[in-house]
A and B are shown apart, each in its own frame.
Chain A
Amino acid sequence: MNNIPGRMLSARSISKSFGDVHALDGVSIDIPSGQSVSVMGPSGSGKSTLLHCLAGILRPDAGDVSLGDEPISLSSDAARSRLRLQHMGFVFQDGQLLPELPALENVALPLLLLGRPRAEALGRAADWLSRLGLAGLEKRRPGQLSGGQEHRVAIARAMVADPAVVLADEPTGALDQATGAEVMRVLTAATRDGGASLVVVTHDAGVAQWCERHVEIVDGRVINDVAARWAA
């Protein structure tokens, strides 16, 4: 419902510094609707800063970020938060679920925050959990789920409000290789089926290969931007 076809996430010449450290130096990137993009680079290259700027969590020192017609980087903090809640989904490496809430309510939370009725929010959450193979685990709390199951719950939460874009920061960093691959399979399938763009920040080439496009960042600059061989 929030997924407006053709809505593109764009960054134009964005720069961001932390003291003397120039994390981003004039980065421009367009992410068309429905495309999956991996952002790779060594530690400290600025890939997480780019993700945070794209999400509106950080405001760039220079340049603009927009989602469709919405100028993210010019908005107030409250407006950017609202934009994230309505149009973006997030999957983090860890600490992503509320430990007190059962899986079902964790997934329903974004909808409840958007003011949807409880029954509708829980119904949609149950539907997403079922689509991701978690039917029967709705009442379990995060501590009672495996690492892979927790990530799938997080993916369901990221998708439940039909976001325009899903942003994932090292989504498999805390998982073993097999579970990480399964999480990426679920994540890319879910965003593809939901028509959402996907931006994955990772240092793992195995994770990046699940995406249609690869962007490489070094010292805050994009040095490579290519389509995956299988997608080209």
Chain B
Amino acid sequence: MRRVTRVAPMLLRGRISAGQGLIDLMTVAAFTVSSWLLFTVLAGLNVFVQRQAAPPAMFLAAVGGGPVDGASELPIWTLIAACASVLLVVPVLTLGAAAARMGALGRDRRLSTLRLLGVSGGQVVALSVLETVLAALAGAVVGLVGYLVTLPAWAAITFQATPLSAAEMLLPGWALASIVGLVVVLAAISAVSGLMRLRISPLGVARRAPRPAVRVWRFLALPLAVVAWLLVAPMLNLARAFAVGATVVLVSLAVFMGVINLVGPWLLQFMGHLLARSGRPSVLLAGRRLLADPKGAWRSVSGLAFIGFTGGALVTIPDLGEGAADPLIRILADDLRTGTYLTLAIAFVVAAASTLLNQASAVLDRRRELQQLGNLGVPLGLHDRTRLVQVVAPASVAALGSGLLAVFFFGLLPKVGASQLGVIVFLGALVAGIALVWAAGEACRPLVRAAVAGTGPRPD
């Protein structure tokens, strides 16, 4: 292990001085984005928990003339904030995991050379995990700085008739340290899991092990969850036992998030089978790439699945506020709108970053292959068309499917209805989200051109 830690800084310096540190830079950038969002989302949730314990004076003054005691209704805000956090934390962590995997896989050629030199398999894994952990730590620290620097900006946003203050948004030191630790530990786990795919033999031959197909039991999780929720939801009465009801809703929401993550790769694999029957090379290639790595494809669009889910939730929230006599209802309606837009904005950032990261790493990973295809006379347009199908088809399925699932989930909750505005925002979010993911994919076009021309950055 000591030998490994001695060569790690040397290898890193070598890569950077040779101008080949693009993958490392992208990995750190992805960790920065995911850490910054994690700090921000959890800080936002913490604001509502704090305010529930000590209601803000401006809120109490604003609802003072209403028929109900405003302070007793604050748990509703906390529940909604917790729901939004559950929605966001999963894709944010997925982005971090994707970054770790990219970092680990991009190094396979170098690692195979080390194996040839006599470094053991365990040491190779340790070296890669060490590098990923360093990248995660660097990203988490930069993300922390970003979070701290942007704290004053939150004053522009108002919840509960009270602007968010920097002091409220500042998490305690132990929480900040825990989040950094969480990012680093998850990165290490993801790096090991990414390396499991590489069989690095003592002869230094790095071969990509074919991935086993995603099993059909994943899909069965969906009807099970649907049936369970059909049984549980009617029994909820949030007004009578709020704490119990809220806990059931949160746990169920987390279960549904998990189910979406389970079913998503299977659905993309199924879609891959359909596309692979095509006689059009771009569609065939996109289908085969989905089949070759449905989990990876899902990681790149899972952010969009959560945009769809958030948008779908909006459809079930009745149009409140406008013209409502009760100030509490007006404030709640305003906050729901603000919270939703904020959640969608963060989900958009995650979706775009995930797609950019996955597509860019795919191009770097395939650099040699793209160059060879160019030599064969394969037109550049094929890569663009393949990427279009490969990105947009799964993104559409992920966003629409999750949106419909959200309509089902939130539609069964008590005190919900339907919202025309929600439908419009949902459809708008779907179109915007898919366009954003498409744009992120298109941003890789110059990288593909450079790879085909043989001047692109090497992935090692």
Q: Which residues of A contact B (CB under 8 A)?
A: 52, 55, 57, 78, 80-86, 88, 90, 92, 94-96, 98-101, 105, 109-110, 112-113, 117-119, 121, 141, 143-144
Contacts and interface: CB of A to CB of B under 8 A. Distances in A.
28 contacts: A57-B374, A81-B374, A81-B377, A84-B377, A85-B378, A86-B377, A88-B377, A92-B372, A94-B368, A95-B368, A98-B285, A98-B369, A99-B208, A99-B292, A100-B288, A100-B291, A100-B292, A105-B284, A105-B288, A112-B280, A113-B378, A119-B279, A141-B210, A141-B292, A143-B207, A143-B208, A143-B209, A144-B210
A10 to B, nearest CB: 19
A101 B284 CA distance: 9
Contacts of A84: 375-377
B193 interface: no
Given A95-B371, A109-B281, A112-B279, 17 more contacts: A55-B375, A57-B375, A82-B379, A84-B377, A85-B376, A88-B377, A95-B372, A98-B288, A98-B373, A100-B291, A101-B288, A105-B288, A112-B284, A113-B281, A141-B292, A143-B209, A144-B210
Contacts of B277: 118
Nearest to A78: B379
Given A101-B285, A121-B279, A110 B210 contact: no
Contacts, number: 73
Nearest to B370: A95
A218 B194 CA distance: 45
Which 3 A-B pairs rank lowest in CB-CB distance, beginning with the nearest? Answer: A84-B377, A118-B279, A85-B377
Interface string B367-401: 01101111111110010000000000000000000
Contacts of A143: 207-210
Residue with the greatest number of chain A CB neighbours at <10 A, chosen from B285, B375, B382: B375
A110 B280 contact: no
Contacts of A141: 210, 292
Given A118-B279, A144-B210, A90 B285 contact: no
Contact of B377 (A82, A96, A99, A144): A82
Contacts of A57: 374-375
The prevalent SS among residues of B at the interface is helix
Contacts of B378: 81, 85, 113
Interface in B319-369: 368-369
Nearest to B286: A100
B384 to A, nearest CB: 14
Contacts of B210: 141, 143-144
Contacts of A88: 377
A95 B208 contact: no
B278 interface: yes
A113 B382 contact: yes
Q: Which of A90, A92, A95, A144 neighbours the largest number of chain B CB atoms within 10 Å of its CB?
A: A95
B278 A118 contact: yes
A105 B292 CA distance: 14
Nearest to B209: A143
B289 interface: yes
A218 to B, nearest CB: 25
Contacts of B288: 98, 100-101, 105
A92 B277 CA distance: 28
Interface in B198-215: 207-210
